[in-house]
Structure 1
Amino acid sequence: MSATVSFEVTSPLGPQPVTLSYARVGRGEPLLLLHGIGHHRQAWDPVVDILATEREVIAVDLPGFGASPALPCGLAHDLPTMSAALRALCEELELGRPHVAGNSLGGLLALELGRDRLVRSVTALSPAGFWTQGERRYAFAVLTGMRRIAERMPLPLVQRLARSAAGRAVLTSTIYARPGRRSAEAVVAETLALAGATGFTETLRAGATVRFTDDVPGIPVTVAWGAKDRLLVPRQGVRAKQIIPRARLVRLPGCGHVPMNDDPALVARVILDGSGLRRDRARAR
């Protein structure tokens, strides 16, 4: 069920209130799910039911995305502030040190939380931050173009396009390798989420100088990349492995930038394997 939680985050202007929207389902060790820029927590819907059979799943709308309002004046939409907000979220929900899985921006945030030892394990799906400057500029240009189209496209046209597989491909083929698998309702909802994302511009601007250059020692890390990722190209996964040498690097055949929709069973298995549950059970046998 959808819920909201409010807490305070420190800023140069003093403590500032932050409110995040989230959904919580399942039983087991907590697993925090973080979406990418311009998306919303429903990006995880294709895998949530599978994950919830073995995990307590908390899917959150990041600040300024989905149903979560933008950060208040005095708080920047940058990595340190978002990480602080997620840390406060975990404390407020009494999650302890959860497992975390993230996609794109969410994958980068998951690695940030892992580097700071705030989580038990990290699974990063096509995480941001392993790009060259040219690759970053390309990705940002594509994202900006998608945002402008979403903002300007009339809702009746979005709904009409979403009714056909070809139309869904027009709207979402940049992020999905198999856009026809996405439901019409989900495509309409995520197009509206992109158009209405109050944190989009500031978050994208804050990412202009971001690169992830640190190892993440001491916890299990999985980096998984869609073989058909058209936004953050798969060779960035090789760089991630070089920077985090103990990470498990997984190729996701037939998957695009947001792989949860393209192959839910594969992505769920990668996340559960990455959090150690299946390996622990195998050792117990």
Structure 2
Amino acid sequence: MPATVSFEVTLSHSPQTVTLSYARVGRGEPLLLLHGIGHHRQAWDPVVDILATERDVIAVDLPGFGASPALPDGLAHDLPTMSTVLGALCEELELDRPHVAGNSLGGLLALGLGREKLVRSVTALSPAGFWTPAERRYAFGVLIGMRRLAERLPLPLVERLASSALGRAALTSTIYARPGRRSPEAVVAETLALAGATGFAETLRAGTTVRFTDDVPGIPVTVAWGARDRLLIPRQGVRAKRTIPRARLIRLPGCGHVPMNDDPALVARVLLDGSR
């Protein structure tokens, strides 16, 4: 069942209270799931039931996305702050160095947690941060376009488009290779989540200078990339492998930028293998 948790975070000033929404299910070693920019924790729904057979799964709405409010004034939506916030979340939920998996922005955050030795393993699906300047500008331009479209479409039109496979493709083919597999209800919900994401602009702004250039030694790292990723092109996975030489690099055939929907069985297997 979805829940919320509030906790204090202290950086270079007085403590600030952060509130996050999350859902938790299953049993076993803890596995924290982090979604991409503009999305929400329901992005993981296609794989959660499979994962929950072997893991204590915690899917989080990142600050300013889904049902989680943005960070308080004075806290930036950047990688160092998010590592601190997510580390504090793990303490609050009594997660002793969980496994972590993330997609896109969530993959970048997962690697940041791995670099800080706050987790047992990292599985990153098409993580941000391995782009060239031109690739970053392209991705940000696409994301801004998607956000503006979501903000401008009236709800009845979104519902009408989501009711057909062609309409779901029009709304989500940038992130899914197989948009027809996503349910109409899920497409409506994630379109509304993108339109209402209070942390979108601040998170995107913080990402303009981000490049992940550090190794993540001492813990298992898996990097998986959708072969049909149209947002962060697959050659960025090769750069990730060069940056983190001991990482496993896995190709996800037939999958787009958010592969959990495109091939749930394959992605669940990658996540479970990466967290062993």
Pair in the same fold by TM > 0.5: yes
Q: Please give the secondary structure, in 2, of the residue aligned with 1:241.
A: helix
Q: Which runs of 5+ in 1 are unaligned?
A: 277-285
How big is the shift at 1:11?
Answer: 3.8
Q: Does 1:185 align with 2:185?
A: yes
Structure 1 Cα separation of the partners of residues 160 and 65 of structure 2 = 24
* 1:201 counterpart residue number: 201
Structure 1 Cα separation of the partners of residues 196 and 173 of structure 2 = 20
Q: Aligned-residue CA RMSD in angstroms?
A: 0.5
Cα deviation, 1:161-197, whole Å, max 9, x if unaligned, reads: 0000000000000000000000000000000000000
CA contact (8 A) 1:7 1:92 kept: yes
* 1:68 counterpart residue number: 68
Q: Which TM-score applies when normalising by structure 2?
A: 0.99
Q: Aligned AA for 1:224?
A: A
How big is the shift at 1:272?
Answer: 0.5
1:94-243 paired onto structure 2 within 5 Å: 94-243=94-243
Q: Does 1:259 align with 2:259?
A: yes
1:40-55 paired onto structure 2 within 5 Å: 40-55=40-55
Structure 2 Cα separation of the partners of residues 84 and 13 of structure 1 = 14
Q: Please give the secondary structure, in 2, of the residue aligned with 1:216.
A: coil
Q: Please give the secondary structure, in 1, of the residue aligned with 2:100.
A: strand
Structure 2 Cα separation of the partners of residues 87 and 13 of structure 1 = 18
Structure 2 Cα separation of the partners of residues 37 and 258 of structure 1 = 11
Structure 1 Cα separation of the partners of residues 77 and 214 of structure 2 = 21
Cα deviation, 1:67-91, whole Å, max 9, x if unaligned, reads: 0000111111111111111000000
Structure 2 Cα separation of the partners of residues 246 and 146 of structure 1 = 35
Q: Which runs of 5+ in 2 are unaligned?
A: none
How big is the shift at 1:39?
Answer: 0.1
Q: Aligned AA for 1:152?
A: R
Q: Aligned AA for 2:183?
A: S
Q: Aligned AA for 1:32?
A: L
Structure 2 Cα separation of the partners of residues 17 and 114 of structure 1 = 24
How big is the shift at 1:114?
Answer: 0.4
Structure 1 Cα separation of the partners of residues 79 and 245 of structure 2 = 23
CA contact (8 A) 1:12 1:74 kept: no
* 1:7 counterpart residue number: 7
Structure 2 Cα separation of the partners of residues 188 and 13 of structure 1 = 40
Comparing 78-87 with 7-16, greater Cα deviation is found at 7-16
Structure 1 Cα separation of the partners of residues 116 and 167 of structure 2 = 42
Aligned length, in residue pairs:
276
Comparing 11-20 with 214-223, greater Cα deviation is found at 11-20
Structure 2 Cα separation of the partners of residues 50 and 12 of structure 1 = 41
The sequence identity of aligned pairs, in percent, is 87
Q: Does 1:93 align with 2:93?
A: yes
> Which contiguous aligned blocks of 4+ residues in structure 1 show a shift greater than 4 angstroms?
none
How big is the shift at 1:214?
Answer: 0.3
Structure 1 Cα separation of the partners of residues 47 and 223 of structure 2 = 17
